[in-house]
Structure 1
Amino acid sequence: MRPRLSGTAKRGTARTSTAARKGGRRHPLATVALLAIGLGLTGGAYAAFTTTTASAEQPQVQSATKSSVDEGQKLFQANCATCHGMNAEGTTNAPSLIGVGAAAVDFQVGTGRMPMQMQGPQAPEKPVQFTDEQVTALADYVASLAPGPSIPEQKYLAGKGDAARGAELFRVNCAMCHNVAGAGGALTEGKYAPALTGVTAKHIYEAMVTGPQNMPVFNDLNIDPQGKADIITYLKYIQNNPSPGGFELGSLGPVAEGLFLWIFGLGAIVALTVWITAKSN
């Protein structure tokens, strides 16, 4: 037979059981804390993986000598600091250049877009104001401020990629602004996508990784380096080979072709009609 507990003993046992349950109960914020820790670990792992992948795909940063960096700093302070600040930190007139990398400087200065002559919707291409050595020095100085896209490796610029794959990538990512033949086109508010005829392979690659003017950035996670090389191959192919359809009319598409037909085609029909009528009279 079980021994019967007194009332005092029962109350003591109940208090002990209640205390045990209270001691084992989770804090109301424990679930929230666990979720926060899990999300933090997941986000950190994803960021580390993304950074590692992007770093592995980026072309190797070219080593710059201290003399080149020092020369670039002098050129920058004499020609660029008025708008971009003495330390490239940016001002109300121009953005910061910290982290834009050597590729952005090589493109903007190497195509004459910088320094700008005047403020406008976008910087137009014009004669280059610096020598190749000075452009390299400026790029080395800006690259020394913070990591950023580097000048592409020569193996991606040779134009020996897959032109068919490059054509597909170009149609999907670029043709809506630059035209399927790279002839360029108008955008809103006085902006425009320039023609790609005659642009060097290096500057095309740099434009893709830096996104100058109104162009989006196509990093190596969007289009890998070989994909960029394929796009360059396609552009060089259509530039060096005649159009199979005959006279291109500037490669401006159906608008230019329709205008040509209306002006010259219809005009020729009207002229022929007038000539026939005059001859019959």
Structure 2
Amino acid sequence: MKAIAAHRHHRFAPAALLLLALLVTGAVYAAVVPGPASAAVATTTDIDAGRKLFTANCATCHGPSAEGRDGAPSLVGVGAASVDFQVSTGRMPMVLNGPQAPATEPVFDAEQIAQLAAYVASLGAGPAVPSAEQVDPALGDAANGMALFRTNCAMCHGAVGAGGSLSEGKYAPSLGNSTPTQIYTAMLTGPQSMPVFNDANISPDEKRDIIAFLDAQKAGSPGGSDLGSVGPIAEGLWVWVIGIGVLIGAAVWIGAKSS
């Protein structure tokens, strides 16, 4: 008993107990808390097919090893999410140089886009394409998404994502036709003039809330005409130009009739 008591009162005993407690806490946390959902892991076949597609369609601008060239950035480390956004929206391959690459019909199908993304992702660590659960609007909170969107996005994209003009010929596109995955990957990678909203800025759940809010806007305006969905400026202009104009016209007509 004296030997046991001596070990219990050893000067390193508190440190050993603290270390044991941390190890147990970490193990329990890892077992109980689910890990983040992610897209399917790419296979070697996908990477090889993506390399062939890249060589045939992208290497002219981005270089044979995606190292980048004048006017075309390096793709090493941009991740699969960036490729998925740029190619699925038809912005890449870029047809003409300009202030901004416009969205067009995609050149590649979904399988080819996944293969290109797998190849670029193999060149260096970067953001992955989100899973279906991460972008499901039904799992998001549209009310919280509205607050987040109007704080972080509305100054460029408008109150409900209708888009707006920027400087030097650039613009924030309308989000009405964007898929949930495209919205998520745009926030994650910050294409063109858009800032990056990584998971430290806007968490994955908050990104899904924003997607839920934008999805709710597709139902249309419950109050009738949305007046372009650009917010209170258009509504105020309508009131002053049309509403007040009608009242002034009515007052002039009444005055003319009475005289």
Q: Which amino acid in 2 is paired with 1:167?
A: M
Measure, in 2, the Cα distance between the counterparts of 1:59 and 1:222.
19
Measure, in 2, the Cα distance between the counterparts of 1:221 and 1:59.
17
Question: Partner of 1:142 in structure 2?
Answer: 120
Matched, 1:60 2:38: yes
Question: Partner of 2:74 in structure 1?
Answer: 96
**Per-residue deviation at 1:125?**
0.3
Task: Note the alpha carbon deviations across 1:49-99, whole angstroms, 9 max, x for none.
Answer: xxxxxxx98653631111211111111111111111110000012000000
Question: Partner of 1:226 in structure 2?
Answer: 205
Query: Identity over the aligned pairs, expressed in percent?
Result: 57
Question: Partner of 1:165 in structure 2?
Answer: 144
TM-score (norm 1): 0.72
Measure, in 2, the Cα distance between the counterparts of 1:61 and 1:156.
10
Measure, in 2, the Cα distance between the counterparts of 1:85 and 1:58.
33
Matched, 1:80 2:55: no
Question: Partner of 1:51 in structure 2?
Answer: none
- Contact 1:107-1:203 within 8 A present in 2 as well: yes
- Contact 2:39-2:131 within 8 A present in 1 as well: no
Which consecutive unaligned segments of at least 5 residues does structure 1 have? 1-55
Question: Partner of 2:232 in structure 1?
Answer: 254
- Contact 1:60-1:150 within 8 A present in 2 as well: yes
**Per-residue deviation at 1:260?**
3.7
CA 1:277–1:165: 2 relative to 1, 3 Å: closer
CA 1:66–1:209: 2 relative to 1, 3 Å: same
Measure, in 2, the Cα distance between the counterparts of 1:163 and 1:124.
28
After the TM superposition, which residues 33-52 of structure 1 pair with which residues of structure 2 at under 5 Å, given as runs? none
Question: Partner of 2:168 in structure 1?
Answer: 189
Measure, in 2, the Cα distance between the counterparts of 1:260 and 1:254.
10
Measure, in 2, the Cα distance between the counterparts of 1:57 and 1:172.
28
- Contact 1:178-1:193 within 8 A present in 2 as well: yes
Measure, in 2, the Cα distance between the counterparts of 1:177 and 1:58.
30
CA 1:107–1:250: 2 relative to 1, 3 Å: same
Q: Which has the larger radius of gyration?
A: 1
Question: Partner of 2:92 in structure 1?
Answer: 114
Task: Note the alpha carbon deviations across 1:185-217, whole angstroms, 9 max, x for none.
Answer: 111111111111121100000001000111111
Question: Partner of 2:103 in structure 1?
Answer: 125
Measure, in 2, the Cα distance between the counterparts of 1:111 and 1:257.
31
Task: Note the alpha carbon deviations across 1:4-50, whole angstroms, 9 max, x for none.
Answer: xxxxxxxxxxxxxxxxxxxxxxxxxxxxxxxxxxxxxxxxxxxxxxx
- Contact 1:112-1:129 within 8 A present in 2 as well: yes
Q: Which amino acid in 1 is paired with 2:102?
A: P
- What SS class does the counterpart of residue 133 from structure 2 fall into? helix
Measure, in 2, the Cα distance between the counterparts of 1:126 and 1:278.
56
Q: Which amino acid in 1 is paired with 2:146?
A: A
Pick from 236, 239, 243: which aligns with 2:215? 236
CA 1:165–1:270: 2 relative to 1, 3 Å: closer
Matched, 1:245 2:228: no
Matched, 1:70 2:48: yes
- What SS class does the counterpart of residue 156 from structure 1 fall into? coil
CA 1:174–1:58: 2 relative to 1, 3 Å: farther
Matched, 1:203 2:148: no
Between 162-171 and 135-144, the greater mean CA deviation after superposition: 162-171
> Considering only aligned residues, what root-mean-square deviation do their CA atoms show, in Å?
2.4
- What SS class does the counterpart of residue 155 from structure 1 fall into? coil
Q: Which amino acid in 2 is paired with 1:78?
A: A
- Contact 2:86-2:92 within 8 A present in 1 as well: yes
